[in-house]
Amino acid sequence: MPASVVAIGAGNRMRTYMHYAAEHPDEVKLVAIVEPDDIRRNTMGDQFGVPMEHRFVHYNDFFANPVPADAVILCTPENEHYKPCMKAIELGYHVLLEKPIAQTLQECLDMADTARRNGVIISVCHVLRYHPFFLKVSELVRSGNLGKVISISHSEGVGLDRATHGYVRGTWNREENGNPMLLAKCCHDVDFLLWITGRRCLKVSSFGSLRWFRSENAPEGAADRCVRCPLDGKCPYSAVDLYWRRRDWISNFDVPEGQTIEDVIRRELNEGVQGRCVYRCDNNVVDHQALMMELEDDIVISMTMDIFTLNDYRTTKICLTEGEIVCDEHTITVTDFRTRRQQVFDFSEMLEQPYHAGADLKIMEEFLRAIRGEETHLNTLIDESIQSHLVCYEAERSRLTGQTITL
Ligand SMILES: NC(=O)c1ccc[n+]([C@@H]2O[C@H](COP(=O)([O-])OP(=O)(O)OC[C@H]3O[C@@H](n4cnc5c(N)ncnc54)[C@H](O)[C@@H]3O)[C@@H](O)[C@H]2O)c1
């Protein structure tokens, strides 16, 4: 019997999880869908044969007439996580929840507590824990072959395109609609660093601000929209270049029936939020941030969130007592101090594989195993995920107050 699931929020992430459902109809069946956007709701509903009466515009309508199912998959924007997740777990659904968990630490704790009391699981989608590259790093550190971890420096390269698309012009550009940028973008990184060390964080300190994407930095003569800007061709942040010439970051542009992707890009550039000048948006999230963490066993970690780079990947240097591990999402170079030998693990080819090298699909696979009561490697349950959220919330407090925070 396939597990029955309800999809809430049929955007980018849900399409990924539903790819798993399409490939494994014996394991999972979509029985209801909640999505305000007509095109998205009906496209996914039609693909999986969801009856019209099980397609809902708002989750309040769904929870007023809940369709029986084993689990809810929740991929709404982060300001719409807490309420539907609480309703789902109170009604006894297991939940696969996109990160970040919620918008405050108290909400995260409420959700974990309510799930425990109702005997259901909430699994948070920390994709790095299922990714072959990061699993290998974890295995190398946790094996103990290179001794004990002393310090780590880690950089999350968000990159210019992702940042201007999502954090300056787009969905995550205002903190009140989501979360502090560190949590929104780097909770995976903090989770990864706590996971590989297996230690709790004791103190945090953080710095950063919205330094560049502000109106006073707009070059002379810049227009409000890139499509009308005389500086197009010279500006590194041009929306015309990103969406029209390079055709990047357009996978989330919905194409209504009878129109083409060109029509949609043209409309977005002329009228939509994604066509705006990066210096004249309503963004208020930081554009650079650094975090220092002190963990148990005196481990020290420094981390930066870097937007101003074309290298949109993570780099990590792990210094241990008997060796060091240097990684850049493509290769892992391990140096053993005793032999002075180096070993290189090359994952470049694997990175070409879609769905974060299959890690997104693994999240679904393990979640479904867990709700069937089978043995699983599901290791991103809410209680563990909360540790990374705690660090990010307190880092934000540190950034705003200028203090080091003891957790
Ligand atoms: N794990 C990862 O690697 C990863 C990557 C990107 C995004 N995310 C997270 O996934 C979540 C969704 O992101 P996305 O990229 O899929 O965004 P998206 O905008 O593509 O999809 C969100 C969908 O939710 C719908 N929605 C909005 N309000 C709703 C409501 N009240 N009820 C039901 N549906 C509603 C929107 O119409 C949209 O279709 C966010 O929390 C985001 O932070 C996680």
Task: Tell which atom from ligand 1 comes closest to the C-alpha of 8.
Answer: 33
Residues of the chain with pLDDT under 70: none
Take atom 18 of ligand 1 and give the residue whose Cα is closest. Answer: 11
- Asked if residue 119 and residue 15 are part of one domain, the reply reads yes
**Rounded to whole angstroms, how far apart are CA atoms 351 and 330?**
7
308 and 288 in contact (C-beta within 8 Å)? Answer: yes
- Asked if residue 261 and residue 222 are part of one domain, the reply reads yes
Give the per-residue pLDDT at 252.
82
> At how many degrees (to 10) do helices 105-118 and 382-401 cross?
170
DSSP 337: T
- Strand spans (E) along 159-247: 201-209
- Asked if residue 182 and residue 291 are part of one domain, the reply reads yes
The answer as to whether 364 is a domain residue is no
**Rounded to whole angstroms, how far apart are CA atoms 298 and 201?**
10
Q: Ligand 1 site: residues with CB under 6 angstroms?
A: 8-13, 34-37, 40, 59, 75-78, 80, 98-99, 125, 127, 171, 252
The answer as to whether 368 is a domain residue is no
Q: Which of 237, 252, 280 is the last residue of a domain?
A: 280
Q: Between β-strands 3-8 and 71-74, what pairing exists: parallel, antiparallel or unpaired?
A: parallel
What spacing in Å lies between the alpha carbon of 98 and ligand 1's midpoint? 8
**Rounded to whole angstroms, how far apart are CA atoms 250 and 248?**
6
The tally of domains found in the chain comes to: 3
- Asked if residue 288 and residue 394 are part of one domain, the reply reads yes
As a whole number of Å, the end-to-end CA separation of the chain is: 45
Domain extent, residue 7, equals 3-124
Of the CA atoms within 13 Å of residue 59, those in its CB half-sphere come to: 19
Give the per-residue pLDDT at 317.
98
- Cross-strand bridge partners of residue 320: 149
Give the per-residue pLDDT at 254.
87
Task: Tell which atom from ligand 1 comes closest to the C-alpha of 171.
Answer: 19
Q: Which of 87, 102, 124 is the last residue of a domain?
A: 124
- Asked if residue 258 and residue 394 are part of one domain, the reply reads no
The answer as to whether 365 is a domain residue is no
- Asked if residue 177 and residue 39 are part of one domain, the reply reads no
Sheet holding 149-157, edge to edge: 342-346, 331-336, 323-327, 314-320, 149-157, 300-306, 288-295, 201-209, 405-406
pLDDT tens digits along 248-268: 999 889 898 899 999 999 999
Residue 331 belongs to a domain with what CATH number? 3.30.360.10
Give the per-residue pLDDT at 198.
95
pLDDT tens digits along 45-54: 999 999 999 9
Take atom 5 of ligand 1 and give the residue whose Cα is closest. Answer: 13
**Rounded to whole angstroms, how far apart are CA atoms 21 and 14?**
10
Of the CA atoms within 13 Å of residue 391, those in its CB half-sphere come to: 29
359 and 147 in contact (C-beta within 8 Å)? Answer: no
DSSP string, 16-76: HHHHHHHH-TTTEEEEEEE-S-HHHHHHHHHHTT--GGGEESSHHHHHHSPPP-SEEEE-S
The answer as to whether 221 is a domain residue is yes
- Ligand 1 pocket: which of 76, 186, 314, 360 to mutate (most atoms within 8 A of CB): 76
SS3 (DSSP) at 288: strand
Take atom 3 of ligand 1 and give the residue whose Cα is closest. Answer: 127
Give the per-residue pLDDT at 334.
98
- Asked if residue 299 and residue 267 are part of one domain, the reply reads no
- Asked if residue 254 and residue 183 are part of one domain, the reply reads no
- Asked if residue 290 and residue 273 are part of one domain, the reply reads no
Q: Which of 103, 124, 145 is the last residue of a domain?
A: 124
Q: In one letter, which amino acid is 198?
A: G
- Asked if residue 41 and residue 12 are part of one domain, the reply reads yes
- Asked if residue 392 and residue 292 are part of one domain, the reply reads yes
Give the per-residue pLDDT at 45.
98
Closest CA to 146 of 343, 335, 315: 335
353 and 72 in contact (C-beta within 8 Å)? Answer: no
